[in-house]
Every structure is written in C-alpha cells, then in structure tokens.
Structure 1
Amino acid sequence: MSEERPVSLAKEPEKEPQPDVTPAGGMAVSSSAARYEPEGVGGQEPAGRFWSVRRCPAAFVALVLLLAAALLLYDVASVRADRPVGAWRRRLADEFATRPLDDPWVIAAAGSAVVLGLVLIVLALTPGLRGLLPMRRDSAVLRAGIERRAAAVVLRDRGLQVPGVRAVRVRVGRRRVRVRAQAHFRDLHEVRADLDEVLEDGIAGLGLARQPALTVQVRRPKG
C-alpha cells in the first residue's frame, strides 16, 4: 500500500434514496448512483492515476535496440576493414530478394511485429497500476494511494460489524464497489440498509480522489 495520510471531510455526502428490490430467492439489492467528486476544488490538488514505471518493457526494447546496433556496427566495421562479408548477410539479402510477400514466414513475422508494436504503444500511452486507487491530494508534493485489496479488506471488516451479517465479500473497482453479504438473522432489507450506511461511511473514510458507487446484495446462506 502506498503512503497514506489522514483525510478529514468537511461534511458527509448526502445520501440518495435507495430503491428496495427483492428478487426471487430471498435477496435484497441496493445500488447507489455513481458520484464523482470534481478534482482540484476546495483547495485540493487534482489527483490523477498513478503511472507504471514498466521497467521490463523498457529494458526489453533497450536490449533489442542495443543488439541490433551492435550487429550493424560490427558488420560495417568488417566491411571497412576489407574483410569478407558474413554468410548471414548474403543469406539475409537473398531471402529479402527472393522470398515473396505472401510467404507464411513473411506474414507471420510481419504480424508478430505489428502485435508487438501495438502492445508497446498501449503500454506507453496507458497509466497502468489499476490495482492502486489515488487518494485526495492536499499538497502538490505528496501523493497517496491505496491498493484495491486493502480497501476491500477495510470495507469487509466494516461490513462484518453490522448485526446479522454472517459473511461479506467485497470487490473494489475504480468506478464501483460491489458487496455481497449473507445474513443469518434480521430482515434482509434492514441488514441491507445498515450495510449501505456503514459502507458509504467506510468509502468516504478511505479518502479516495473519486468516490465510487456502491452496490450491495444481501441474501440468506444456502441450506
């Protein structure tokens, strides 16, 4: 988990009315609309996503370029020194001159190069680190984040404190938090309402830069 710092909220977010839905099978479901707090307001610095360093792809590209440059430099030096041209160079020139473009090996090599290039472009243009959620920024020199698994553990522990809850499963995404709980006593709608309140407070207490929406499902354990 990245470096965290306490976050104080000026006021609690207003709670929207939750629809009560009771599908067949004894289950209570609630879903809150997605609410994204604008960044860079209230004296806070905008908090964007963390960018991955991606050392392995960068090292791979650098190694390939280094080997290609070393091979080319060696060939040029051999020609300048009046040494006979290597057999690999003659064979490569013959292959380029005689092999047709519809040859399976040529198509496979071209397709592999295109796929590798697209992968490198995607890695260069996307931030990555999807498992790390940015937190609110109060300073331009300090950034904090929390891992999704750590946030899920915090919310799960908060959910287990609700009376009647037997088990809780939490999945934290960038836009939505999905919670599935089992209640062995109390009315399902009462348990779900308490879970909504507790988990919304828990999400607000995480200090995320963007507050995700909350979806809660409560059902009876099987058997």
Structure 2
Amino acid sequence: MNADQKMRQSTSASAYGARAGTAGAGSGAGDGDPPGRVRRFWSERRVPAGIVALVIAAVSGLLLYDVAAVRSGRRAMRWRDWLADELASRPLDNAWVVGGAALLAALGVWMVILAMAPGLRGLLPMRAPEPESEPGPGPGAEAEAAVRAGIDRTSAGLVLRDRAMEVPGVRSARVDVGRRRIRARALAHFRDLDEVRADLDTALHEGIRQLGLARPPALSVHVRRSAKSKG
C-alpha cells in the first residue's frame, strides 16, 4: 500500500449539511432542513466600554482643569506647554507627526471594527425550538420565541470527543470545534482504519446533529494507527 492509499484510508472531510440531508427518515423530522437564520450572540462589552469612558473622562477632566487654571491667571502644566511647542515647531510632514497620526487613525479604525463585531467567538448559537402545531394565544408564546440558546465550543468539543471514544477501535481522540470547521483526530489500536474512520464519521455527524447548532460546521476526520499497535 503506497502513501496515497494510506492517506485516503485514514482521512475524510465532508460538509455536515450534505450529510444531514441524506440522513434516514427514522432519524427524526427536520434533520435535513437547512439551518435557520439565527444571528450570533453579541457581547455587551461593559468592562471595555467602562474603561474607555473612565480614561476619556480623566483626560477631559485634566484638560478642563488646566484650561480653567490658565484662564484664572495661573501657568499651564508642563505637558501642555511641551505639546503646544512641539505642534507649533514641527512641520506636518515630520516623521513623528505622520507616525502619530497614522497610529491614532489605526487605533480608531480598530475600535470601530471591534464595536461592529459581535464578539463571543467561543459561543455557537443553536437552533430555535420549533413552534407547536397549534400555539395558543398569550404572552407565553412570545416569551418562548424570544429564548435563544448557545453552546460553548469547548463543551461541544468534549461532547463530540465522548462520542468518538464510544466507537470501537478508537484508543484516544481529540476534537477541535471551530466556528466553520470541526477537526477530529483519533488513534486506532485495532480494526481496519477505513472501518474506524467510517464509524467515527457517522458517530460525529450524529453528535453534531444532536447538538442542534444553527450553523453546523463542516467535519474533518483523521484516523491513524498508534505507535504501540504498529509495533
């Protein structure tokens, strides 16, 4: 067996959506349905917003105090005299002026991007519960529709790893859950690698389906023989 055949035997990558659409009818209703439009969770960012507000308030208060002191006949602070002299003496094409302006512009763009990004990358949104066939009127239905669920990527990886360890022939497994791809690596100590990979692929797809993710990531499975089994 050459190297290409070994690689083909021990590696598989497949999109979860295509696999879910081919699931049997007995696996439950809605297994092949396309993922719903569920938005990601947004971070409230209370601590960063509070820190930025405190820094801006402190700088503004210090500047306001210095301006009021100068208006009352006192001398301005040394840092403001130094800054005014530097801005008055340095031309606009000076390297320090251009560098400082570029740094402030990059910092502003970075803060805008962070403010527009949802954050909470470690939390995967789950599908909303399906509505009942005949929902009754009342505030309970609206409250149920407003409920959102999510699962931590680390927790999802532990659940899928336990699934992988239940496959016969798997000695150890590691599952890394990303936002767009799930990578599973396993060591097999008996059985044919192709059979272990097929069973592991099926078990992990079933585990991903039961997680109920709104956007199920693609699955990549890699199985290899452990060194002790080779010996």
The match for 1:135 among 118, 126, 131 is 126
Taking a change above 3 Å as real, the CA distance of residues 75 and 47 of structure 1, as seen in their structure-2 partners, is same
Q: Which residue of 2 aligns with 1:63?
A: 54
Taking a change above 3 Å as real, the CA distance of residues 221 and 122 of structure 1, as seen in their structure-2 partners, is same
Q: Which residue of 2 aligns with 1:206?
A: 211
Amino acid at match of 1:118: V
Q: CA deviation at 1:172?
A: 0.8
Q: Which residue of 2 aligns with 1:107?
A: 98
Aligned 1:1-223 pairs, distance under 5 A: 23-24=5-6, 27-35=9-17, 37-39=34-36, 46-80=37-71, 82-88=72-78, 89-138=80-129, 139-223=144-228
Deviations 1:76-126 (A, max 9, x none): 32244x323414343332221111234343233223212221221111011
SS in 2 for 1:140: helix
Aligned-pair identity (%): 55
Q: 1:144 and 1:131 mapped to 2: Cα distance?
A: 13
> Which blocks of at least 5 consecutive residues in structure 1 are unaligned?
1-20, 40-45
SS in 2 for 1:136: coil
Q: CA deviation at 1:47?
A: 2.2
SS in 2 for 1:77: helix
Q: CA deviation at 1:187?
A: 1.0
Deviations 1:117-168 (A, max 9, x none): 1221111011111111011122332111111111111011111111111111
Q: CA deviation at 1:199?
A: 0.9
> Which blocks of at least 5 consecutive residues in structure 2 are unaligned?
19-33, 130-143
Taking a change above 3 Å as real, the CA distance of residues 128 and 110 of structure 1, as seen in their structure-2 partners, is same
SS in 2 for 1:219: strand
Q: CA deviation at 1:56?
A: 3.7
> How many corresponding residue pairs?
196
TM-score by length of 2: 0.76
Q: 1:83 and 1:38 mapped to 2: Cα distance?
A: 69
Taking a change above 3 Å as real, the CA distance of residues 31 and 95 of structure 1, as seen in their structure-2 partners, is same
Deviates more, 1:56-65 or 1:146-155: 56-65
SS in 2 for 1:200: helix
Amino acid at match of 1:103: N
Taking a change above 3 Å as real, the CA distance of residues 59 and 215 of structure 1, as seen in their structure-2 partners, is same
Q: CA deviation at 1:22?
A: 5.9
TM-score by length of 1: 0.78
Q: CA deviation at 1:24?
A: 3.6
Taking a change above 3 Å as real, the CA distance of residues 87 and 175 of structure 1, as seen in their structure-2 partners, is closer
Amino acid at match of 1:84: R
Q: 2:67 and 2:95 mapped to 1: Cα distance?
A: 31
